[in-house]
Amino acid sequence: MMEMDGALLSRIQFAWTVSFHILFPTITIGLASYLAIMEGLWLKTRNPVYRAQLLFWIKPFAVTFGMGVVSGIVLSYEFGTNFSEFSQATSTVLGPLLTYEVLTAFFLEAGFLGIMLFGWNRVSERMHFAATVIVAIGTIISAFWILAANSWMQTPAGAVLDKQGVFQVVSWMEVIFNPSFPYRLVHMLLASFLTVSFLIAGVSAWHIRKDRQNPVAQKGLSVALWAALVLAPLQAWVGDLHGLNVLEHQPIKVAAMEGIWETEQGAGLRLFAVPDQEQETNHFEVKIPYLASLILTHDAQGTLQGLKSVPADERPPVAVVFYSFRIMVGIGMLMLLAAVVGAWLRWRGNLYSANWFHKGLQWMIPAGLVATLAGWYVVEVGRQPWLVHGFLRTNDMVSAHPEQRVLFTLILFVIVYSLLFAVYLYFMRKLLKRLPSIDATVDEKESIKSQSAEYLTTSSTTTGIPS
């Protein structure tokens, strides 16, 4: 058992803040593209149903984007505040990548978001569409750089560690296009698109249950399920390729994902097990013989390296990786099933009347977020004890803060983020609950005016600020 020291607290704090943050970009990457497609279709076909989709989803998008911005700034400073050794050692590699992320993505998104959200009456339709497309592209560029940086920490390439313990870059192409980067980038982008597909499908199903004939909700459900039908199998395939890539570069991570302790020939796929780090074994194993070897080496007799092939202090916490992987894959399977069932219902002409299916989709609204988080736990916890795989150990990279100080900020982060998340869910529920209307219009001048009038009459007595 690790002791509760400053280093561990810094790691927990980073895990907490980064887990919180990733929820929002996962939604906005997919949703920005969805909005751009809807706006494009509206301009092309002038079918008001697309416009209604755009106007309905732009509000939850804006709120989610705002949460992503404020929680993201924290991360760019946390390398320095809590991982000073890490930032010294890797700034030569990660500094430029993050600088490019800010220059090519953050400014682009922020610069055009204002026009996208508030510029309806100030720019032409084409300019507005351009702004939406630029914001969508910005979210993808941002993913490109941050996943290049993360992948480099998984499969470092193109740089050598010098005598002072600082990485010196030899080739930027190799740094950026390091071995795991293409797989991870595509896997994450698909995860984001799938998350949004099920968000839209679930919310549309909810609307349909309240208003059977709502054309906007029907369109939302239809588009989202078509997308899921393409994306879910694609993701399974990309995920498999990604797994093979991990096996090549981080075999111990795969051993943890599969719960394989001894190096085995013809390893079985553990459907369930309770990994025991101390005794170096699993309890209550339920496995399908040969399947893990078959999937990972494409040979039923293939050899898989076990966790015990490396010293105990070079193994990740197995249980976290093992269970997270199962949660991710399980949800992925469920999504595939839902997409296929949706296609079958569509073929039978029941898509908009199958109440049980709509109820099920409603439950799947957060599915993508849970799967994405679980996937990231596989990636990040599976890399432990390394921070930069094979080079730097996480525990050596932490700032020398006394534990009380980090404990204090950690507690505050937990309070602040929990509070914010509750508020976020409250407002999202409020925004998503409204039934979309085919005659929705952009101009909300009136509503804002009345809001201000109402505010004038109520706030003077209730505001916390002296006026």
Partner 1 sequence: MDWAIVWFLLLGFGVFMYVVLDGFDLGLGILYPWYQPDERLLMMNSIKHIWDGNETWLVLGGVLLFAAFPPAYSLVLSHLYLPVMIMLWALIFRGVAFEYRFKATTSKHWWDFAFFAGSSIATFCQGLMLGVLLQGLTLEEGQLTISSWSWLTPFSVFTGFALMVGYALLGSLWLVWKTSGAIQQHSRKLAIMLLVIIAVLLCVVSGWSTLLDARIMDRWFSFPNMLWLAPLPLLTGYALWRTWCGLKQPSEREWLPFAWVIAVFGLSFIGLVVSVFPFLIPWQLTIWEAIAPAKSLNFILPGVLVLVPVILAYTLFGYKVFSGKLDTLDGGY
Binding to partner 1 in span 165-204, by CB under 8 A? 166, 168-170, 172
Choosing from 2, 46, 348, 467, the residue that interacts with partner 1 (CB under 8 A) is 467
Distant-in-sequence contacts of 48-54, Cβ < 8 A, 24+ apart: 48/438, 48/439, 49/215, 49/216, 49/219, 49/438, 50/219, 51/440, 52/216, 52/436, 52/437, 52/438, 52/439, 52/440, 53/216, 53/219, 53/220, 53/223, 53/436
Q: Using CA atoms, how far apart are residues 104 and 112, in angstroms rounded to an integer?
A: 13
Q: Which amino acid is at 353?
A: S
Minimum gap (Å) between residue 32 Cβ and partner 1: 14
Dihedral sign for Cα atoms in the order 181, 183, 186, 188: negative
Residues 82-121 that bind partner 1 (CB under 8 A): 82, 84-85, 87-88, 91-96, 98-104, 106-108, 110-121
x/- site string to partner 1, residues 25 to 44, per CB under 8 A? --------------------
Start-end of H helices in 260-366: 291-297, 318-348, 355-363
Compare residues 290 and 424 and give the one whose CB is closer to partner 1.
424
Range 118-147, binding partner 1 (CB under 8 A): 118-123
Nearer to partner 1, 69 or 343 (CB): 69
**Part in contact with partner 1 (CB under 8 A); list of ranges 186-194, 229-237, 343-351, 459-467:** 459-467
Nearer to partner 1, 160 or 288 (CB): 160
| Alpha carbons 290 and 302: distance in angstroms, whole number | 9
Nearest approach, Cβ of 449 to partner 1 (angstroms)? 6
Size of the site for partner 1 (CB under 8 A): 90
Half-sphere exposure of 406 (CA within 13 A, CB side): 22
Residues 423, 426, 431, 435, Cα dihedral to 10°: 180
Give the whole-angstrom CA distance, residue 411 versus residue 271. Answer: 36
Angle, CA of 175, 178 and 181, to the nearest 5°: 120
**Cβ-based nearer residue to partner 1, 100 or 226:** 100
Least Å from the CB of residue 360 to partner 1: 29
Beta strands in 370-425 (DSSP E): 386-388, 392-393
Q: Closer to partner 1 by CB, 106 or 357: give it.
A: 106
| Type of residue numbered 377 | Y
- The tokens for 286 are 């339920």
Handedness of CA 274, 275, 278, 279 (dihedral sign): positive
Taking the complex as a whole, how short is the minimal distance between the CB of residue 272 and partner 1, in angstroms? 40
Stretch that binds partner 1, among 206-214, 251-259, 275-283, 393-401 (CB under 8 A): 393-401
Looking at residues 50 to 89 of the shown chain, list those that interact with partner 1 (rule: CB under 8 A).
58-59, 62-63, 66-67, 69-74, 76-77, 79-82, 84-85, 87-88
For residues 41 and 350, what is the distance between their CA atoms, to the nearest angstrom? 25
Lay out the site mask for partner 1 across 231-270 (x = CB under 8 A, - = otherwise): ----------------------------------------
Count of C-beta atoms within a 10 Å radius of residue 170: 11
- Residue 237 CA, chain-centre distance (Å), reads 19
Would you say 93 and 151 are in contact if contact means Cβ atoms under 8 Å apart? Answer: no
Question: Shortest gap between Cβ of 117 and partner 1 (angstroms)?
Answer: 4
Select the span of 36-44, 276-284, 387-395, 398-406 touching partner 1 (CB under 8 A): 398-406
- Of the candidates 44, 163, 348, 400, which one interacts with partner 1 according to CB under 8 A? 400
What CA–CA distance (Å, rounded) separates 259 from 274? Answer: 9
Residue with smaller CB distance to partner 1, 88 or 305? 88
CA angle (374 as vertex; 295, 99 as ends), nearest 5: 105
Is the CB of 115 or the CB of 221 nearer to partner 1?
A: 115
Minimum distance of partner 1 from residue 157's CB (angstroms): 15
Q: Write out the binding residues for partner 1, residues 427-456 only, by CB under 8 A.
A: 427, 430-431, 442-445, 447-449, 451-452, 455-456
CB of 224 to partner 1, least distance (A): 22
Provide the 8-state DSSP code for 349.
T
Compute the least distance from the CB of residue 289 to partner 1, in Å.
50
Q: Which is nearer to partner 1, 169 or 438 (CB)?
A: 169
Shortest spacing between CB 12 and partner 1, in angstroms: 15
Asked if 422 touches partner 1 (CB under 8 A), the answer is no
Q: Whole-angstrom Cα distance, residue 437 to residue 456? A: 30
Of 27 and 98, the one with the shorter C-beta distance to partner 1 is 98
Please say which residue, 2 or 456, places its beta carbon nearer to partner 1. 456
- Scanning 188-196, 220-228, 318-326, 397-405 for contacts with partner 1 by CB under 8 A, the matching segment is 397-405
